[in-house]
Amino acid sequence: MNQASARDILRAKQALEEAMDLARWHAERGVEAEYKEGGSPVTVADREIDQLLRTQLPEAGDGWLSEETPDDEARLSCERVWVVDPVDGTRSFLAGRSDYSVSIALLIDRQPVLGAVGAPAQGVQIVGGVGHGVQATGEPDWQLPQDGQKPRVLALRSEMGRGDWQHLEDLVSLQPVGSVAYMLAAVAAGSADATWTKYPKHEWDVAAGAALIHAANGECWLPRGGHMLWNRKSPRFLSFAAAGPEQRPRIDAHL
């Protein structure tokens, strides 16, 4: 697998810090939601962070894929593609919760090799890349028990609200989180053992977290089966799971 350069990681970290500052600025002043086709919310913060990252990250020849930018299929022929979600967990952001994030990834040769995820309201940054390891600053505002008896699992807040995780509540230590990217990054940083969703997610939801999981020597896979191919014309997975080093065997039992 190709690797991101130290310069790529530094640039991503700097862009993440600026994006987190912008997210906090909007959160302090309050934002209103608009609704895209399909019903998902979007705010001025999403759009301004998207513009900031699009200005800061791609260089000549780089592709771009973002939840808030019309897709340009020119990315399909690019060796390097930046994949971002300006605000992952917009519903948490709008509700004033702290578990939303900014997510930045770099794909090289269709593989996620760099991830930078920040939770602005918690002051957490998790940045790294394949061959470079993972560096985490700050701590999530949850603390799962580390008795080793039950896997520490992060679950999407919306899925827990629907009751999708009730059958596992006695088998794993569960923590709801509003952002897929933040869940994956937290697993890479060692704040949990695993996370998964059996619902479709786009590449911008999971690319940064996948890069961080790989950088931490963990594992990502598709619970519904299939090959994990990136920078596709339809950039979506039907499911997604990730676990820290040597955790997959006991996680598979629950899937």
Tell me if 213 sits within 8 A of 223, measured CB to CB. no
Domain boundary among 106, 137, 168: 137
- Whether 240 is in a domain gets the answer yes
Q: What does the pLDDT read at residue 37?
A: 82
Task: Please tell me whether residues 77 and 186 are part of one structural domain.
Answer: no
- CATH number for the domain that contains residue 182: 3.40.190.80
Q: What does the pLDDT read at residue 41?
A: 93
- 154-162 own/partner pairs: CB under 8 Å, 24+ apart: 154/183, 154/186, 154/187, 154/192, 154/194, 154/195, 155/183, 155/195, 156/180, 156/183, 156/197, 157/92, 157/99, 158/91, 159/197, 159/199
Q: Hey, what are 254's tokens?
A: 């629950």
Residue 166 three-state SS: helix
The pTM of this model reads: 0.96
- CATH number for the domain that contains residue 30: 3.30.540.10
Task: Please tell me whether residues 206 and 114 are part of one structural domain.
Answer: no
- Whether 91 is in a domain gets the answer yes
Q: How many domains are contained in the chain?
A: 2
Mean pLDDT by 10 residues, the chain (255 residues): 91 98 96 87 96 98 97 97 97 95 98 98 98 96 81 96 94 96 98 95 98 98 92 96 96 88
Domain with 48, as residue range(s), is 6-137
